[in-house]
Amino acid sequence: MGSESNDWFETAGTFSDFLVRCFDRTDRPPFLPRSWPTPDARYHSDV
């Protein structure tokens, strides 16, 4: 995964898995702000 400032973060699994781990706060690239996702954010899978 890359950021707009050309920082890279390597993680396992699919991008959807990565997003779920971000919501669970178990995976976080250093370039993502600590405020994301907000406490009231919800993840809805299409699967």
Report yes or no on 46 lying in a domain. Answer: no
Q: How many CA atoms, within 13 angstroms, populate the side-chain half-sphere of residue 20?
A: 9
Give the pLDDT confidence score for residue 22 in this predicted structure: 80
Report yes or no on 47 lying in a domain. Answer: no
Report yes or no on 45 lying in a domain. Answer: no
Give the pLDDT confidence score for residue 4 in this predicted structure: 66
Domain count, the chain: 1
Report yes or no on 17 lying in a domain. Answer: yes
For the chain, first and last CA: distance in Å? 22
Pick the more confident residue, 47 or 33: 33
Q: Are 28 and 18 in contact (CB under 8 A)?
A: no
Report yes or no on 6 lying in a domain. Answer: yes
Dihedral pair phi/psi, residue 17, rounded to 5°: -60, -40
Residue with tokens 């919501």: 23
Q: pLDDT (tens digit, 9 = 90+) per residue, 12-41?
A: 888 888 888 887 878 877 777 777 778 787
Q: How many CA atoms, within 13 angstroms, populate the side-chain half-sphere of residue 21?
A: 12
Report yes or no on 3 lying in a domain. Answer: yes
Q: What is the residue range of 11's domain?
A: 1-40
